[in-house]
Structure 1
Amino acid sequence: MSTINQMSELNILLAQDNVHHQLSVPHLVEKILYRNEGTLTEKGAIQATTGTYTGRSPRDKFIVKDDTTTDKVQWGAVNQPIDDGTFVKLYHKVLEYLKDRNELFVFKGFAGADERYRLPLQVLTEFAWHNLFAQQMFIRPESTEVKEHDAEFTVVSAPTFKADPEVDGTNSEAFIMISFKHRIVLIGGTEYAGEIKKSIFSVMNYLLPEKNVLPMHCSANVGKEGDVALFFGLSGTGKTTLSADPQRRLIGDDEHAWSNYGIFNIEGGCYAKCINLSKEKEPQIYDAIHFGSVLENVVLHPSSNQPDFDDTRLTENTRAAYPIEHIDNIVQPSIAGHPNAIIFLTADATGVLPPISKLTKEQAMYHFLSGYTSKLAGTERGITEPQATFSACFGSPFLPLAPSTYAEMLGEKIDQFNTDVYLVNTGWSGGAYGEGQRIKLSYTRAMIHAALEGELSSAETYRDPYFGLKIPAHCPGVPDEVLFPRKTWANTNDYDKNAKALAEQFHKNFQKFTYASEEIKQAGPTYNGS
């Protein structure tokens, strides 16, 4: 068979007696324990391990290149093309493989809290714990909605199916393939549950701009006065931690969209990094991990099944997945007005960027397109220590379209709604990674609170000589010297050397954005090698 007749082949599989539909959380937990897929922890959560793949596998991700996508997708290392025939053959092989499994699990739900833009989806999984993960991460339907649910996209997850690269056209045994023509995500060879979540985010990044809605890799919360804040940043920069603020209500921790009506959460749950998690530092996240949650690659104490959040023997990319309702202080439904403030988060491993700076409109566009941060250990396969990276729009691994599409939409909305934008470094100070120290979370929270409360709007500022950023001279709750990174280094010559090197990296990376206006190009680091 060279084509996909989803209404027949997939539906035949879904109608088999061994396929469980919409199991409740307790029922799924029973299945997970019975099938030895995971362990019940002392906190009541399910703990599961993912074997070789403890993070996303970017070089194994593909988008099917066909008449639907040829002229729309920005093809390259991020969006690797695969032809429709190859996809269809592998799809049939996976379905044949799944037919012989003892049990399969289906969850039907939605991506997108705003009913005007939500995507009905279904997730077919080989593992019960992956189905629990999907149920907690996506938006769960009401009982009446299940009867009327008509999935517009299907995720098929078969982690124990190993691809043969020479036969199946993959780069390894693992594959994550998206077909917009057939409305199918095909996942195999990897047990890392995050691939399910992020593949649908990629789908939404493709579909929403067609509706004049901006998809965003950011967390969001709202203050007592209804003021909305967005937190952009790659995994490990603090989106989840900083948006889970007891003084503000959480809208969502990772994926949102901005329409003409305001913002809305794409998901129904949170996927928090939990390395070194403690009740003292992150009480909301810590308390959210109980029955129904999933702990991914978290090591347990053998005698008590108590999670050891400090143990990195499996990976530093330990994760906790839980429904947003496990957080007490949330917005329901996950919808709010237009943002008053945007925070760009970067974990700068060089230790030279200021902890906080207010951006002009042009600087905001420059840093959004640049998307600078340091990839932290474990977030992707092969990353064992921080590595400097530039990820357009703070999420290029999930952007099927050209970055300019998202950047232009963001710029228009910043103008339209007069939104303030700040750059916040949650990385290192006093030296680079290995020498300096990670900026204290308490300081970062104090700076963000000051920004959101308007306390930095009229503050005295200092212009950074290398990056041209306006640094506030004072911030409540933060020692003045912390605000100026050069003052925290024992050897200022080393700081100057690192600052110049990072500025040059910014300029080199930005050369690819030939379409950017001269005003945006000039909004980058003031040091240009001379």
Structure 2
Amino acid sequence: MSASALAGTGVAAASTVHANLTAPALVQHALSRGEGRLSADGAFIALTGQHTGRSVQDKFVVDDPSVSEQVWWGKINQKMAPEKFAGFAARVREWLGARPVLFTQDLYAGADPAHRIRVRLVTTNAWHAMFARNMFIRPPVAELEGFTPDFTIVHAPEFEADPARDGCRSSTCIALSFAAKTIVIAGTSYAGEIKKSIFTVMNWLLPERGVLPMHCSANVGRKGDVALFFGLSGTGKTTLSSDPERALIGDDEHGWSDTGVFNFEGGCYAKVIKLSKDAEPQIWDASHRFGAVLENVVADERGVLDLDDNRFTENTRSCYPIEFIPGIAPGGVAGLPKNVVMLTADAFGVLPPISKLTPAQAMYHFLSGYTARVAGTEKGLGKEPQATFSTCFGAPFLPRHPEVYGKMLAERIARDGADCWLVNTGWTGGAYGTGHRMSIGHTRALLRAALDGSLANAEFEKDPFFGLMIPKSVPGVPAEVLNPRAAWADKAAYDRTAAELVRRFEANFESFAGAVGEDVRAVAIKAAA
């Protein structure tokens, strides 16, 4: 059993290997091993120690000769020499082989059978195995017999890498070899590394198959109309796609093929800090039941959750199988997108709550990937908002050059005729600290009008700073909310703040201006002459 369960991982062991256990068995092991505890509702709570988010600076891609020319090298994809990876992987495998107990899970990534991959995880912890089981697609039992992985994840959170020996930066190392079809994760218990490593793999494989991989959530209406929601963490991808009026396809990662949209995953990984039962009932219910895995969430001695408590991190998370959300899209697949929504949480408070984009503007904002971070969401941030540009709304997970994905998006929008929107879920009436967060009720009303087609026929006015087309009226939303300048009491302050954000967009555009067509350069945000 050990040999078959570990086949393809490179780990050889006479240890006890628990292969493909179900959630109840994994919870039982996790509790008996002291890996965490249960909430009052039965969710499993785990703490991840010093790593409460992804270790971006500790991510490496192996510089294999067969892929080197195609990889987007830089701060995101740091090079690791093949011989360093071989030695590092061998030491981690040897260390795992010496553990008394290991857990494995065999899973799929990709709901569309034509574009899925088989993934095998080997790990030391039952709760990490449960996280992966929640997060990816669980094959039918009959398909587990003879399961042969396409990629393996060798997961050793307690192992400490040696920078001098392993060619990495610290005792934490996440290394991916496309040639060896292996991911090695060491020195971090944050489970998001497991999820995002496979997303990186899908971002590598699918473009060659003519499929656009996307960091977005997706849902589908009763008439079969599919909507995509691009956005960075904290912009509302999970919240806005979990709509009782529409079926959820998935909350984070999808592919856009010639036939439609499909989820990469079989679960959701929702940020739950300050989660509201009234505003987000589906995520609330999914996080308060047996089978959910909660990361760094605070609970009292009775196990009652306090989702407002950020003592461990602002990045508290809930991981649960997608079927915990009622009315999901069957099989995680649906038709071609009718609407493409790009989400930004603008903490400067100067972008409109919704605006209609031309195809050229959509590509520009896709490559820009703008949002803004504020104090309290990350350590080291001051009082002023910090503009963040993450190309394709997912730069940390792009192994290929951004232009590859940008070109594919433009082609698909043109081919399938999708309407495109920019939605600000951030601040209005002033910047962070002066204004207030956009009402989720208003945002949902705006999206409802966009997705049902009525907003496309509205009367629009052009914003003078960003060149965006803003609707003049939308049912259920006050007129003064639609135009951001009207929402500011101090108009001169708005003008100064908007001009400053324009300058940041302009500076960021320089990094990809040479790789886009004249149509995109013509709509780029720039300061008035």
TM value normalised by structure 1: 0.96
Task: Give the deviation of 1:490 after TM superposition.
Answer: 2.0
1:238 aligns with 2:236: yes
What runs of 5+ residues in structure 2 fail to find an aligned partner? Answer: none
Q: Are the aligned partners of 2:6 and 2:104 in contact in 1 as well (CA < 8 Å)? A: no
Paired residues for 1:324-335 under 5 Å: 324-335=322-333
Determine the C-alpha separation between the residues in 1 that align with 2:377 and 2:170.
Answer: 19
Determine the C-alpha separation between the residues in 2 that align with 1:347 and 1:356.
Answer: 12
Q: Are the aligned partners of 1:54 and 1:378 in contact in 2 as well (CA < 8 Å)? A: no
1:108 equivalent in structure 2: 106
1:42 equivalent in structure 2: 40
Which residue of 21, 29, 52 maps to 2:27?
Answer: 29
The one-letter amino acid of 1:180's match is: F
Determine the C-alpha separation between the residues in 1 that align with 2:401 and 2:276.
Answer: 39
Determine the C-alpha separation between the residues in 2 that align with 1:61 and 1:211.
Answer: 25
Task: Give the deviation of 1:512 after TM superposition.
Answer: 1.6
2:201 equivalent in structure 1: 203
Determine the C-alpha separation between the residues in 1 that align with 2:389 and 2:350.
Answer: 16
The one-letter amino acid of 2:518's match is: E
1:20 aligns with 2:42: no
Task: Give the deviation of 1:68 after TM superposition.
Answer: 2.1
Q: Are the aligned partners of 1:57 and 1:380 in contact in 2 as well (CA < 8 Å)? A: no
Q: Are the aligned partners of 2:260 and 2:336 in contact in 1 as well (CA < 8 Å)? A: yes
The one-letter amino acid of 1:392's match is: T
Task: Give the deviation of 1:102 after TM superposition.
Answer: 2.3
Determine the C-alpha separation between the residues in 2 that align with 1:247 and 1:107.
Answer: 34
Paired residues for 1:39-78 under 5 Å: 39-78=37-76
Determine the C-alpha separation between the residues in 2 that align with 1:408 and 1:486.
Answer: 33
The one-letter amino acid of 1:523's match is: V
Task: Give the deviation of 1:387 after TM superposition.
Answer: 2.6
The one-letter amino acid of 1:507's match is: E
Deviations 1:12-64 (A, max 9, x none): 73663411100111000000100110111111100001110101111000100
Does the residue aligned with 2:448 lie in a helix, a strand or coil?
helix
Determine the C-alpha separation between the residues in 2 that align with 1:99 and 1:529.
Answer: 63
The one-letter amino acid of 1:516's match is: V
Determine the C-alpha separation between the residues in 1 that align with 2:95 and 2:402.
Answer: 38
1:280 equivalent in structure 2: 278
1:451 equivalent in structure 2: 450
Paired residues for 1:172-251 under 5 Å: 172-251=170-249
Deviations 1:495-522 (A, max 9, x none): 1111011111111111121121121011
Determine the C-alpha separation between the residues in 2 that align with 1:173 and 1:371.
Answer: 31
Instruction: Mark the CA change 1:18 to 1:306 in structure 2 (over 3 Å): closer, same or farther.
Output: same
Determine the C-alpha separation between the residues in 1 that align with 2:6 and 2:46.
Answer: 34
2:522 equivalent in structure 1: 522
Task: Give the deviation of 1:264 after TM superposition.
Answer: 0.2
Task: Give the deviation of 1:380 after TM superposition.
Answer: 6.7
Paired residues for 1:424-443 under 5 Å: 424-443=423-442
The one-letter amino acid of 2:291's match is: G
The one-letter amino acid of 2:516's match is: A
Determine the C-alpha separation between the residues in 1 that align with 2:163 and 2:400.
Answer: 27
Q: CA RMSD in A?
A: 1.7
1:265 aligns with 2:224: no
Instruction: Mark the CA change 1:379 to 1:78 in structure 2 (over 3 Å): closer, same or farther.
Output: farther
Instruction: Mark the CA change 1:255 to 1:282 in structure 2 (over 3 Å): closer, same or farther.
Output: same
Task: Give the deviation of 1:384 after TM superposition.
Answer: 7.7
Deviates more, 1:462-471 or 1:428-437: 428-437
Deviations 1:234-253 (A, max 9, x none): 11110000000000000000
Q: Are the aligned partners of 1:357 and 1:424 in contact in 2 as well (CA < 8 Å)? A: yes
1:498 aligns with 2:502: no
Task: Give the deviation of 1:447 after TM superposition.
Answer: 0.5
Determine the C-alpha separation between the residues in 1 that align with 2:263 and 2:427.
Answer: 30
Does the residue aligned with 1:26 lie in a helix, a strand or coil?
helix
| Identical-residue share of aligned pairs (%) | 53
Does the residue aligned with 2:145 lie in a helix, a strand or coil?
helix
Determine the C-alpha separation between the residues in 2 that align with 1:294 and 1:24.
Answer: 14
1:488 aligns with 2:487: yes
Instruction: Mark the CA change 1:265 to 1:72 in structure 2 (over 3 Å): closer, same or farther.
Output: same
Q: Are the aligned partners of 1:154 and 1:185 in contact in 2 as well (CA < 8 Å)? A: yes
Deviations 1:106-139 (A, max 9, x none): 0001000000000001111111110000000000
2:400 equivalent in structure 1: 401
Deviates more, 1:376-385 or 1:438-447: 376-385
Task: Give the deviation of 1:11 after TM superposition.
Answer: 5.7
Q: Are the aligned partners of 1:159 and 1:189 in contact in 2 as well (CA < 8 Å)? A: yes
Instruction: Mark the CA change 1:460 to 1:12 in structure 2 (over 3 Å): closer, same or farther.
Output: closer
Q: Are the aligned partners of 1:462 and 1:470 in contact in 2 as well (CA < 8 Å)? A: yes
Task: Give the deviation of 1:69 after TM superposition.
Answer: 1.7
Determine the C-alpha separation between the residues in 2 that align with 1:134 and 1:380.
Answer: 26
Deviates more, 1:326-335 or 1:97-106: 97-106
Determine the C-alpha separation between the residues in 2 that align with 1:26 and 1:379.
Answer: 34
TM value normalised by structure 2: 0.96
Task: Give the deviation of 1:311 after TM superposition.
Answer: 0.3
Instruction: Mark the CA change 1:384 to 1:319 in structure 2 (over 3 Å): closer, same or farther.
Output: farther
2:168 equivalent in structure 1: 170
The one-letter amino acid of 1:452's match is: L
1:3 equivalent in structure 2: none
1:84 equivalent in structure 2: 82
Determine the C-alpha separation between the residues in 2 that align with 1:8 and 1:282.
Answer: 40
Q: Are the aligned partners of 2:123 and 2:154 in contact in 1 as well (CA < 8 Å)? A: yes
Deviations 1:452-471 (A, max 9, x none): 01121111111101001000
1:511 aligns with 2:510: yes
Deviations 1:370-411 (A, max 9, x none): 111124668777568753111111111100001110111111
Does the residue aligned with 2:503 lie in a helix, a strand or coil?
helix
Deviates more, 1:67-76 or 1:10-19: 10-19
Deviations 1:170-212 (A, max 9, x none): 1111111100010001001111000000010000000001101
Does the residue aligned with 1:51 lie in a helix, a strand or coil?
coil
1:143 equivalent in structure 2: 141
Task: Give the deviation of 1:299 after TM superposition.
Answer: 0.4
Q: Are the aligned partners of 1:390 and 1:509 in contact in 2 as well (CA < 8 Å)? A: yes
Instruction: Mark the CA change 1:383 to 1:165 in structure 2 (over 3 Å): closer, same or farther.
Output: farther
Task: Give the deviation of 1:488 after TM superposition.
Answer: 1.4
Determine the C-alpha separation between the residues in 2 that align with 1:88 and 1:284.
Answer: 44
Q: Between Structure 1 and Structure 2, how many residues are aligned?
A: 523
Task: Give the deviation of 1:278 after TM superposition.
Answer: 2.2
Does the residue aligned with 2:502 lie in a helix, a strand or coil?
helix
